[in-house]
Structure 1
Amino acid sequence: MSLKTLSAVALTAVAALALSGCSGGTAAPAPGESFDPDSSAEITFAWWGNDDRAARFEQAIAAFNEEYPNITVVRNFNAWGDYWTARNTEAAGHSLPDAVMIDAGYLGEYASKNLLADLNPYRGGVLPLDGVSDAVLGAGTVQDKLLSVPLGTNAYSLMYNKDILDELGVPYPTDTMTWEEMDDFILQVNKAGGATEPRIYGSEDYTGGFVGFIYAMMQRGNEVFDADGKAAFTEQDVVDYLETGKKLRDAGDFYPVERSVALAPKGGFLAGESAVWFNWSTTVLQGMTDAGTENIGMVQPPLDAGEKTHVLAPHPSMMLSVAANSKQPQAAAALVNFLATSPKVAEIFGTSLGTPPTEAGQAAIDRQPADTVNLDYIASIQDELTASYPILPAGYGTIEAKWGELHEQMRYGEIDEKQFAQSLFSEMSMVLG
């Protein structure tokens, strides 16, 4: 999804307000200083979600007020679509909430419009972010400005249904598999599952999502988008990636596209009809719920032949920013720090906001089965979480959706890999300018 184009005049006003840091003759506190406990502040905080998330935030803010009793937090939340409609309107009027939840797909656009405050100046005071790694913070850093702090993270993974593989007598996938070995695994599952009802397949087409392409580019040390939000990859990069699955695709060895379309948005893994699922680690709860088993394993995605080390990135599940127009940036930054790093908050939310970005937060969780699988996976790949997730440009949601649309056409045989790449770049030329 992408935001509507904002008025250049309004955006200039936002930037000017952020730089002035004052209203009604009262200067904003100097960055880096601690919030004066004898002073008071009222800040607004907005997030998207449901009533359950709102109830958890009520608990989290109550815990925050034990530490900062003189900061009043005015809360507001909406469902996803209504949330961004409201933020659009506020952005145009340079009146965003002081603390605002941001999705990774919107960060690039909000950054380009100067709507978010640089939080680096507060790192020496109310925003130390103790225990949050540079790789995690890199996902919220645009042109050296820390504009957003992840409340939770996850990582790209290969999930597998142990019940299916045990029943078929097929060994589990490993964290050292190559893509060629992955293809062999899929064929082995297909052969063993050919007599079952319904028939069991090894996998959906693993080139079906743009996220998988991002992983492949990062694994090869390539940029995905440049600092201006333009594609840093080529049509040939897209073709080369799609052709990694061509042999199985042409032979009909992936989970059938007709069945995928019929089951949408579930897919084969969630229906209990395919053995593996490439997705973010925190979606393991959905996997367990829909597939009807807690017996789910998780390893890193395969490597190209000759590669020895995975290049993985902590992917921000949701992020918190301070608005450039905030009149109380220190108080808002204090709230961001508390929500991102307090073990009390992690205990309240579990992994529902993603994996807590600190070890102390992860240790505070009362683990349920899905939490255990997710957190054990994250712990096992710490040495391979060496990159920051790329900043996604304005219009990223449109590009991601176009990839899915074109991939379905390709699987039906309506277009080939080169036509896929050409159509994708045609779409990006309009979306990214």
Structure 2
Amino acid sequence: MFPTKRLAATAALVAIGGLTLAGCSGGSPEAVETVDPNEEVTLTFAFWGNDVRAALYEEAFAAFNEEYPNITIQSSFLDFPAFWEKRQTEAAGGGLPDVMQFDYSYLRQYSENGLLLDLTPYVGDIIDDSALSEEILAIGQVGDGNYGITTSTNAWAMFLNPTLLEEIGVEGFAGGTWEDYNAWMAEVTDAAEAKGIEAWGGGDWTGRIQNFELQMRAQGEDLFTEDGEANFTEDDLRAFWEQGSEIREDGTTIEQQRVEELTPLGGFDSALTTSELVWDNFGAGYLANLGEGYSTLDLVAPPVTEEGAKDLYLKPSMLHAISANTDHPEAAATLVDFLVNSPESGEIFGTNRGLPASQTALEAAELDEFSQKVADYEASIADRLGDAPPVPIVGYGTLEEKFRQLGTELNFGTVTVDEAVDQFFSEMDVVLNQ
């Protein structure tokens, strides 16, 4: 199950992913100048979040102004869907904020329509790249340009509920193949039933496009090419979904009807499943939803498709981008550098935006127990980390949601695997050719 915020985010992608944005003039200056400390500058800054994040940004802006008192920042925030609805309206009229929190799913759409400033001339100059790895910098690249600087990262992972597992009497998943994972889930489900506990080993992992991506990357293929073409066949998708046929039918995984009853929570944060495959920055939300009695979660690597494969990658929790039409590109780049790289930023935000991507910010961040687990996890999967896939195609959110919907229907038994494959490829044909 997707948590509520993720569902809302997906809905926003579905709603606007297919629209064409009005192109704007703008681009990169031929030479980068430093900020004139005597020039009074006002920058607009937009982000998604809540009152807690807003207070952190205000604290960061105050620290920034100690060094750059001539730069005034006017900030605003909305929840995730409303944030992108407003950006869509602004983009059509050429009035995007100077600096924005940015989501990876929109980077190609906005950059290819000329709406974002190419940051290439600023990286290594105003924007310090010494604390950012090549992999981190590459995340913001579309074509020959760099249109976003990653603030923080996450990676695909498996969460385990050690408290519930101890109650059931089964050890956590010790690693292995996807078949091993299925067998472990069955062991947990059977043990829970024997003790009269309503719990399952997990959910149907074939309902998540990220697990399909993981298996394709283990074969050396991203889901989509740099040119936006599908990099998998109907047979590939059919084989993937068929891996879930047995666990859907034999009761190993939580029933879909039970999942629907739990909405807006899912099986994992309702303490009904002991494992969940998801991005590693979901932990704090899970713990908050689980509430009293569940003080910690374990974080382990997903099952292995092929030993030695570089199937995992670091994904940006968010990026910072600059409008192509900003009147103050140097000041905007200076602000981005501060929010990404400065020790003050790391100390103020901690892991609110995810695990800091900049080494200087990360070293300054005070990590709580669970944030340290995330940091340790990302370090532990170094041997499985490969290059990030190409920036998501325009309309990726639509396909992600379609994949989820078809996974739900497979669990309800309202479609066959063959029918699901046909429906997904039909949807993909529309998205790729719009």
Instruction: Name the aligned partner's letter for residue 201 of structure 1.
Output: W
Taking a change above 3 Å as real, the CA distance of residues 313 and 356 of structure 1, as seen in their structure-2 partners, is same
Equivalences for 1:245-256 in 2 at 5 Å? 245-256=244-255
Which residue is 2:180 aligned to? 181
Distance, in Å, in 2 between the alignment partners of 1:288 and 1:33 is 46
Correspondence 1:320 to 2:297 = no
Please report how far the alpha carbon of residue 36 of structure 1 lies from its aligned counterpart in structure 2 after TM superposition: 3.3
By how many angstroms is 1:263 displaced? 0.9
Q: 1:6-21 residue pairs with structure 2 within 5 A?
A: 6=20, 10-11=22-23, 14-15=24-25, 17-18=26-27
Measured in 2, the distance between the counterparts of 1:127 and 1:362 equals 17
TM-fit CA distance, 1:138 = 2.1
Q: What corresponds to 1:369 in structure 2?
A: 369
**Aligned-CA RMSD value:** 1.9
Contact 1:230–1:432 (CA under 8 A) maintained in structure 2: yes
Aligned partners of 2:64, 2:396: CA distance in 1, in Å? 34
Partner of 2:3: none
Matched, 1:273 2:272: yes
What is the identity, as a one-letter code, of the residue corresponding to 2:335? L
Displacement after TM superposition at 1:118 (Å): 1.1
8 Å CA contact retained: 2:161, 2:296: yes
Q: Where do 1:20-419 residues align within 5 Å?
A: 31-174=31-174, 176-292=175-291, 293-304=294-305, 306-419=306-419
Whether the 8 Å contact between 2:192 and 2:198 is mirrored in structure 1 is: yes
Rounded to whole Å, the distance in 2 between the matches of 1:99 and 1:286 is: 27
**Among the aligned pairs, what percent are the same residue?**
35
Could you give the per-residue CA deviations for residues 276-326 of structure 1, whole angstroms, max 9, x where no partner exists? 01011111112222223123111110112x513553211111111111111
How far is the alpha carbon of 1:389 from its aligned partner? 4.2
Q: Secondary structure at the match of 2:287?
A: helix
* C-alpha distance 78-168 of structure 1, shift in aligned 2 (>3 A): closer
2:115, 2:325 within 8 Å by CA — same for their partners in 1? Answer: yes
- Residues of 2 paired with 1:131 and 1:367: CA distance? 18
Shift of 1:370: 2.3
C-alpha distance in 1, partners of 2:198/2:276?
Answer: 17
The C-alpha deviation readout for 1:61-117, integer Å capped at 9, x for no partner, is 111122222222221222223222221122112221111221111112112212111
Range moving further from structure 2, 33-42 or 357-366:
33-42
Change (3 A) 1:432 1:326: same
Deviation at 1:353, TM superposition (A): 0.6
Q: How far did residue 3 of structure 1 move?
A: 4.2
Aligned partners of 2:236, 2:343: CA distance in 1, in Å? 42
User: Could you give the per-residue CA deviations for residues 367-411 of structure 1, whole angstroms, max 9, x where no partner exists?
Assistant: 223212222212222343332144112222211111111111111
Is the 8 Å Cα contact of residues 170 and 189 (structure 1) preserved in structure 2? Answer: yes
Matched to 1:5, the amino acid is L
Question: What are the ranges of 5 or more consecutive residues in structure 1 without an aligned counterpart?
Answer: 22-29
The separation in 2 between residues aligned to 1:145 and 1:310, in whole angstroms, is 25
329-338 or 385-394, larger mean C-alpha shift: 385-394
Match of 1:24 in 2: none
Cα distance, 1:270 vs structure 2: 0.8
Q: Secondary structure at the match of 1:225?
A: coil
Distance in 2 (alpha carbons) for counterparts of 1:31 and 1:56? 33
Cα contact 1:255–1:274 (8 A) shared by 2: yes
3-state secondary structure, aligned to 1:101: strand
Letter in 1 for 2:375: L
CA distance in structure 2 between the partners assigned to 1:259 and 1:111 by the alignment: 42
What is the letter of the counterpart of residue 413 of structure 2?
G
CA gap of 1:196–1:352, structure 2 versus 1, over 3 A, is farther
For residues 309 and 363 of structure 2, the distance between their equivalents in structure 1, rounded to whole angstroms, comes to 27
TM-score (norm 2): 0.91
> How far apart, CA to CA, are the structure 2 residues paired with 1:270 and 1:337?
36
Letter in 1 for 2:19: T
Instruction: Quote how far apart the aligned CAs of 1:184 are.
Output: 1.6
Give the partner amino acid of 1:381: I
Structure 1 SS opposite 2:241: helix
The range that moved more, 192-201 or 410-419, is: 192-201
Q: Which amino acid counterpart does residue 347 of structure 1 have in structure 2?
A: E
Whole-angstrom distance in 2 between the partners of 1:5 and 1:168: 49
Partner of 1:47, secondary structure, is strand
Normalising by the residue count of structure 1, what TM-score does the alignment of the two structures yield?
A: 0.91
Partners in 1 of 2:78 and 2:20 — Cα distance?
21
Measure, in 1, the Cα distance between the counterparts of 2:50 and 2:127. 28
Whole-angstrom distance in 2 between the partners of 1:385 and 1:328:
37
2:27 maps to amino acid:
A
Q: Which residue of 2 aligns with 1:25?
A: none
Q: Take 1:66 and 1:389, find their aligned partners in 2: how far apart are those partners? A: 39
> Is the Cα contact below 8 Å between 1:203 and 1:275 reproduced in 2?
yes
User: Which letter maps to 2:147?
Assistant: L
Contact in 2 for aligned 1:225/1:391 (Cα 8 Å): no
Instruction: Confirm or deny that 1:432 pairs with 2:432.
Output: yes
In structure 2, what residue type is equivalent to 1:245? G
How far the C-alpha of 1:344 sits from its partner, in A, is 1.5
Contact 1:18–1:326 (CA under 8 A) maintained in structure 2: no
**Residue-by-residue CA offset, 1:183-207 (whole Å, 9 max, x unaligned):** 2211111121113444221110011
Quote the residue 1:26 is aligned against. Answer: none
Q: 1:179 to 1:6 in 2, by over 3 A?
A: closer
- Matched to 2:173, the amino acid is P
